[in-house]
Amino acid sequence: MVAIPHTTEAFVVSAPGKAILFGEHAVVYGKTAVAGSLDMRAYALVTPRSDDHVRLVLPDIGVDELFDTNTLPRLTPNMLEHPGMVEQLMGHISVPNGPGRLAILTFAYLFGSLFVDNCGFTVSVRSLLPVSAGLGSSAAYNVALAAALLRLSGRLPAKNASDVINEWAFAGEQVAHGTPSGIDNAVSTRGGFLEYTKGSEARNLCTTNALRVLVTNTSVPRSTRELVAGVRNARDQHPTVVNLVLDAIHETAVSAVSLFENSSDGVEQRLQDLVRMNHGLLATLGVSHAALERIREITALHNMASKLTGAGGGGCALTLVPSDASDETVEQVQCELRDAGFECYSTVVGGKGVAFTESVAAESVDKWIVRMLPLEQNDAVPADPFAAVIAGFVALPASVVAKLAP
């Protein structure tokens, strides 16, 4: 018999990306880093089915897979030495190569770990985060997916739900990355700002003040592994000098923690100063890039401080927007960055973590999604109401999808 999922209505789970504000590279050597949730999110739409199949739809990377739940492996505790070994249990199920491979394996691992009975549902995920840009797109997917499957399986507790979501999202990150630090999924789950030191549990910073930022994607590909190795080589060659630089990066992070938790006059300007210092120190380690320096030049003309975020070498830059900056000024900066060939997003860092949405403006998410479609698309989707919802969710513009966050 097909078990009824723990929902008969559509719902959405959204989870934010992350940006490292202070401490990149130094964190590898036991120094402090500060990260914040980035309100560019992944959105998982969950809709029930009447059969015993589960469907995973990831339109951003061309995945649309339908699985018979009788064929998916069921996992017991300690069955695998590492979550990444789930592929060995997939049997005759063919997992395609390509960008969606790890996402499918993560889904299989979480489903097999959380579900005992057969059931039917569809999970469709849209992400408004650029991939491989150091903004935690993988963690946002894993947090949203883990939260959705925990709720469907009836394993989401009333208390300490975020701890349970974070635990399973970390397992998903292990499938994707082998030995992740855990900071990305922790930020995405909890939201806000976190202080992190390797080997210690991340600590939420006691501040409710989200920061307005610009995130600018250089679209320059880079290898995190190679950049980390480059810093390690520099440290091996010049240990005294590089250790002093790493210590200084640590101090920028520690100073930022103090500013976040002890708000006073001048905090905003001091954060801007720390952003400039942190980037300069990272550039000294050789992990900046001409594109990142160009972004810093453009934003500095408008009294905005920018720095690389993540591994550097390309990827993204983070710009703090002063609280007194007008919308016109921010738009001008964005136009200048776009004219220079960059993708630029205006958002906030330090906002909400994982969240569930059942309705938008008192209207159920499935009805709202279908209503948001242009009339000709609405008429073209299949008659089945949830098929229409899924098709609508896939077709909606990113700006409309963003309204599904609470």
Q: Which of 14, 137, 138, 288 is catalytic?
A: 138
Q: Percent of the chain having pLDDT more than 70?
A: 94
Q: Is 184 a catalytic residue?
A: yes
Q: C-alpha dihedral over 192, 10, 100, 79, to 10 degrees?
A: 80
| Statement: residue 132 has pLDDT above 80 | no
Helices (H) and strands (E) in the chain, counts: 13, 14
293-317 pLDDT, tens digit per residue, is: 999 999 999 999 999 998 899 999 9
366-405 pLDDT, tens digit per residue, is: 999 988 876 555 544 443 457 888 988 999 999 999 999 9
pLDDT at 378: 52
250-265 pLDDT, tens digit per residue, is: 999 999 999 988 877 6
Q: How confident is the model at residue 224 (pLDDT cuts 50, 70, 90)?
A: confident
* Mean model confidence pLDDT for the chain: 90
pTM of the model: 0.89
Query: Position 364: which residue type?
Result: S
Cα gap 259→245, rounded to integer Å:
21
pLDDT at 70: 87
Q: Is 64 a catalytic residue?
A: no
Q: How confident is the model at residue 1 (pLDDT cuts 50, 70, 90)?
A: very low
156-167 pLDDT, tens digit per residue, is: 998 899 999 999
31-81 pLDDT, tens digit per residue, is: 999 999 999 999 999 999 888 889 999 999 999 999 988 888 888 877 888
pLDDT at 189: 96
| Statement: residue 280 has pLDDT above 50 | yes
Contact predicate 272/305, CB 8 Å: yes
Q: What is the mean pLDDT of residues 10-38?
A: 95
Q: Nearest-CA neighbor of 338 among 308, 298, 290?
A: 298
Contacts 24+ apart (CB under 8 A), 240-246: 242/285, 245/281, 245/284, 245/285, 246/25, 246/26, 246/29, 246/31
pLDDT at 374: 64
pLDDT at 179: 80
Q: Which of 39, 60, 184, 366 is catalytic?
A: 184
| Of 92 and 90, the one with more pLDDT | 90
